[in-house]
Amino acid sequence: MKDTTDQTPDRKAWMSLMAKAREGRVAALLDAALTRPTFTWLRAPEIGSVMVRGRAGGTGAPFNLGEMTVTRCALTLTTGEVGHAYIQGRSKPDAEAAALVDALMFTDAAATLRARVLEPLEQEQTARRTTRAQKAAATKVDFFTMVRGED
């Protein structure tokens, strides 16, 4: 097993990106980028929940808000790299694809995957977010004074 802990900030970013991807996207982009390597399961895909917490008053003591569905798995490539995935929702194929990408990011395929999986995912998420932000901005109230009271 190879050490895969030296790229923590970068790895955190790509795992977070894949966790929030729309259903089917990670698998589709991965298959368009390269042929999947062989692997063995360390932990087969498993659907479970995570208790989401909030804070009283937004900044105070934590409380349990409710759960969300999460699918996780872990695998080892035959070349030894380990990949993990924790993704929102209940898609086992997407969890498998995300764990494969995670493992492959420690191989020579990293540059290809960054360009053909991670960057497109990032662009899609930015576009979705920007569109909503712009629609919200269009509903911002512009106040104007009609009559000043002291005149």
Partner 1 sequence: MYVAVKGGERAIQNAHAWLAEERRGDASVAELSIAQIREQLSLAVNRVMAEGSLYDPDLAALAIKQARGDLIEAIFLIRAYRTTLPRFGASSPVDTGDMACDRRISATFKDLPGGQVLGPTFDYTHRLLDFKLAADGEVPQAPMREADPAPVPHVTGFLNREGLIEEAQPDDTPPPDLTREPLEMPADRALRLQALTRADEGFTLSMAYSTQRGYGRNHAFVGELRIGTVPVEMDIPELGFAIEIGEITLTECETVNQFKGSKTEPPQFTRGYGLVFGQTERKAISMALVDRALRWEELGEDNVGAPAQDAEFVLYHADNIQATGFLEHIKLPHYVDFQSELELVRKLRRSVEKSQHQEAAE
The answer to whether the beta carbons of residues 92 and 45 sit under 8 Å apart is yes
Q: C-beta of 89: minimal distance to partner 1 in Å?
A: 7
Q: 35 or 141, CB closer to partner 1?
A: 141
Are residues 80 and 2 in contact, defined by beta-carbon separation less than 8 angstroms?
A: yes
Give the 3-state secondary structure of residue 117: helix
State yes or no: residue 8 binds partner 1 (CB under 8 A).
yes
Q: Look at residues 84, 79, 60 and name the one whose alpha carbon lies nearest to residue 8.
A: 84
Nearest one of 5, 89, 83 to 39, comparing CA atoms? 83
- At 26, which amino acid appears? V
Residues 89-128 that bind partner 1 (CB under 8 A): 89-90
- What tokens does 52 get? 């989401």
Of residues 43-82, those binding partner 1 (CB under 8 A): 46-70, 72, 74
Of 30, 31, 25, 18, the C-alpha closest to 87 is 18
Tell me the C-alpha to C-alpha distance, in Å, between residue 39 and each of 109, 119, 146: 15, 24, 70
Least separation in angstroms between CB 13 and partner 1: 9
Residue closer to partner 1 by CB (options 111, 136) is 136
Q: Please choose, out of 30-38, 104-112, 114-122, 137-145, the segment that lies near partner 1 by the rule CB under 8 A.
A: 137-145
Stretch that binds partner 1, among 32-40, 103-111, 113-121, 133-141 (CB under 8 A): 133-141
Smallest gap from Cβ 134 to partner 1, in A, equals 4
Residue numbers of the site for partner 1 (CB under 8 A)?
Answer: 5, 8, 11-12, 15-16, 19-20, 46-70, 72, 74, 84, 86-90, 129-141, 143
